[in-house]
C-alpha cells in the first residue's frame, strides 16, 4: 500500500521540482560581460551612466556615513555597501509617483526618490524634521519593525488600485525579515487583492549574526511567493541590469492589473549590520567576505561601462568629489536645524490636542520660555 501511495504522491519530489525552478536570473556577470543578451534592458547611454553615478555616489555616502557616525556626527546607521545594485537598480525602475516603504537599511532609495540628504542625516540623528516628507514625495520613513512595511505596502498598493493610479508600492526587507508573519501576510494580502505591489527581499546572507540557512530550510526565499500565489523571481542582487529588469517587469505587470511580485535579490553587506556595536568578525570569515568582494556590483558595472566607453576614472572621480561636497553641505544643513522641543513633539501627536496633552503643552511652553 505504501508503494502505491508513493507512486502517486511524493511531496518531497514536488518540493524538489519547485525549488529547481528558482534559478538565479543574471544579465551581467562578475567580469562585466553580458551573459543574457536576450534579457538586456538596453538602457540608453545616459541611463547607464546615471545608474552608475547613483551607485558610486551611494558607495561614497556609505563610507562617509560610517565615518561621520564614528565621529559622533551621525546616529543610527545601517551600512549599505555591496547592496547598490539591489537598492538603486530596483529604484531606477520606478516612476516618481510610485510609493516606497523602506526598511531601516533602505535610506538610499528614498534619497534618490527625492528625500533631501540633510533630512536623511536628521533621520539618523533622531530628529523629527528628518521624517517630514516634502510635499508630494511618496515615501515613508525607514521602518524599524521588520515586516511592518510589508503589510503596509499591501494597503498602499490596494489604495493605488482603488484610485485607478498607474503606480506601484515597492517595499524592501532582508533575508531575516522573510521569517516574520507580516512578511507572509503582506504578500498574501497583496496577492488576494491583486494589488500593484513589488516586494523585494534583499538577501544579504546574514540577519545580524544569523546566517540565512538558520531562517528557513527553503532553498530560496523567492519560492515563498508560491505560498501567496504570486509571481516570484530570484535575481543576482549584485547585478544592476538583472535587478533593474526584474523590477521593471514586476512594475509593468503590476500596473497592468496582474498583481504583486516577490523579488529575492542575492546580495551582501560588506559592512556590519549597523554601526551600533555590531562586529561582523564574530560571525563572518574572511573567505566569505572575499568571495563577495569579487562580486562587487560597482566593479562589474564599471567594467561593463568602460568597455562601452561610457565611464572613466576621471568621471568616477568627479562623482566622488560631488558626493563628498553634497554630503558636507547636507551635514551642515542638518547641524543648522533647530533643536527639538517637547512642545514640538506634543504638537505632532494629533490634529487637535486631547485634554491631557493640552495641559502638558502649557506646562512645557512655560518651561521652554524660562
Partner 1 sequence: MAQMTMIQAITDALRCELKDDENVLIFGEDVGVNGGVFRATEGLQKEFGVERVFDTPLAESGIGGLAIGLSLTGYRPVPEIQFFGFVFEVMDSISGQLARYRYRTGNTFNMPVTIRSPFGGGVHTPEMHSDSLEGLMAQQPGLKVVIPSTPYDAKGLLISSIRDNDPVIFLEHLKLYRSVREEVPEESYTIPLGKADVKREGTDLSIFAYGLMVHESLKAAEELEKEGYSVEVVDLRTVQPLDIETIIASVEKTNRAIVVQEAQKQAGIAANVVAEITERAILSLEAPVLRVAAPDTIYPFPQAENIWLPNYKDILETAKKVLTF
351 is a site residue for partner 1 (CB under 8 A): yes
DSSP helix/strand/coil, 222: helix
User: 89 near 27, Cβ under 8 Å?
Assistant: no
181 is a site residue for partner 1 (CB under 8 A): yes
If the CB atoms of residues 15 and 192 are measured against partner 1, the closer one turns out to be 192
| Least distance (Å) between residue 126 CB and partner 1 | 11
CA distance 234 to 175: 12
| Element of type H or E holding 100 | strand 99-101
Task: Give the interface segment with partner 1, choosing from 81-89, 297-305, 324-332, 352-360 (CB under 8 A).
Answer: 352-360
Assess whether 273 carries a catalytic annotation: yes
Query: Which candidate, 85, 87, 80, 82, places its Cα nearest to that of 61?
Result: 80
Assess whether 304 carries a catalytic annotation: no
266 is a site residue for partner 1 (CB under 8 A): no
CA distance 86 to 237: 5
- Measured CA distances, 175 to 181, 264, 269, 357 (Å): 13, 9, 12, 41
If the CB atoms of residues 9 and 350 are measured against partner 1, the closer one turns out to be 350
189 is a site residue for partner 1 (CB under 8 A): yes
Task: Give the interface segment with partner 1, choosing from 12-20, 53-61, 129-137, 199-207 (CB under 8 A).
Answer: 129-137
99 is a site residue for partner 1 (CB under 8 A): yes
User: 69 near 75, Cβ under 8 Å?
Assistant: yes
160 is a site residue for partner 1 (CB under 8 A): yes
288 is a site residue for partner 1 (CB under 8 A): no
- Residue 237 cell numbers, joined: 542582487
Active-site residue (options: 91, 113, 127, 273): 273
Q: Which of 51, 110, 115, 154 binds partner 1 (CB under 8 A)?
A: 154
Assess whether 269 carries a catalytic annotation: yes
Residues 6 or more apart whose Cβ sits within 8 Å of residue 242: 25, 26, 27, 28, 36, 39, 235, 236
90 is a site residue for partner 1 (CB under 8 A): no
User: 101 near 170, Cβ under 8 Å?
Assistant: yes
User: 208 near 276, Cβ under 8 Å?
Assistant: no
Taking each continuous run of H as one helix and of E as one strand, the counts in the chain are 17, 7
| Least distance (Å) between residue 189 CB and partner 1 | 5
339 is a site residue for partner 1 (CB under 8 A): no
Q: Which residues bind partner 1 (CB under 8 A)?
A: 99, 128-129, 131-133, 140-141, 145, 148, 150-160, 162-163, 169, 181-182, 185-186, 188-189, 192, 345, 347-351, 354-357
Catalytic positions, written as ranges: 269, 273, 283
Amino acid at each position: 500500500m505504501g508503494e502505491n501511495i508513493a507512486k502517486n504522491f511524493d511531496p518531497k519530489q514536488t518540493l524538489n521540482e519547485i525549488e529547481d525552478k528558482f534559478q538565479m536570473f543574471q544579465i551581467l556577470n562578475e567580469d562585466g560581460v553580458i551573459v543574457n543578451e536576450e534579457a538586456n534592458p538596453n538602457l540608453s547611454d545616459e541611463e547607464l551612466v546615471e545608474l552608475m553615478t547613483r551607485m558610486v555616489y551611494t558607495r561614497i555616502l556609505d563610507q562617509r556615513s560610517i565615518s561621520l557616525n564614528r565621529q559622533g556626527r551621525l546616529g543610527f546607521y545601517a551600512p549599505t555597501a555591496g547592496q547598490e545594485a539591489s537598492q538603486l537598480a530596483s529604484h531606477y525602475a520606478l516612476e516618481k509617483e510610485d510609493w516606497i516603504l523602506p526598511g531601516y537599511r533602505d535610506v538610499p532609495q528614498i534619497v534618490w526618490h527625492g528625500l533631501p540628504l540633510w533630512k536623511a542625516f536628521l533621520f539618523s540623528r533622531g530628529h523629527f524634521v528628518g521624517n517630514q516628507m516634502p510635499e508630494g514625495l511618496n515615501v515613508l520613513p525607514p521602518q524599524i519593525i521588520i515586516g511592518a512595511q510589508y503589510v503596509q505596502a499591501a494597503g498602499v498598493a490596494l489604495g493605488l488600485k482603488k484610485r485607478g493610479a498607474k503606480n506601484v508600492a515597492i517595499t524592501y526587507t532582508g533575508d531575516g525579515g522573510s521569517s516574520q508573519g507580516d512578511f507572509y501576510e503582506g504578500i498574501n494580502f497583496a496577492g488576494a487583492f491583486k494589488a500593484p505591489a513589488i516586494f523585494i527581499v534583499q538577501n544579504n546572507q546574514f540577519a545580524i549574526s544569523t546566517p540565512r540557512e538558520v531562517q528557513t530550510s527553503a532553498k530560496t526565499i523567492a519560492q515563498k511567493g508560491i505560498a501567496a500565489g504570486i509571481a516570484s523571481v530570484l535575481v543576482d542582487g549584485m547585478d544592476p541590469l538583472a535587478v533593474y529588469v526584474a523590477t521593471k517587469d514586476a512594475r509593468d505587470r503590476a500596473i497592468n492589473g496582474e498583481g504583486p511580485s516577490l523579488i529575492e535579490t542575492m546580495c551582501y553587506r560588506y559592512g556590519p549590520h549597523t554601526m551600533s556595536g555590531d562586529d561582523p568578525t564574530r560571525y563572518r570569515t574572511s573567505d566569505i567576505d572575499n568571495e563577495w568582494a569579487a562580486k562587487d556590483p560597482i566593479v562589474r558595472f564599471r567594467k561593463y561601462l568602460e568597455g562601452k566607453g561610457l565611464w572613466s576614472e576621471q568621471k568616477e572621480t568627479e562623482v566622488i568629489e560631488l558626493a563628498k561636497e553634497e554630503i558636507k553641505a547636507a551635514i551642515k544643513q542638518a547641524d543648522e536645524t533647530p533643536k527639538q522641543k517637547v512642545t514640538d513633539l506634543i504638537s505632532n501627536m494629533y490634529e487637535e490636542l486631547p485634554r491631557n496633552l493640552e495641559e502638558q503643552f502649557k506646562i512645557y511652553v512655560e518651561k521652554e520660555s524660562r
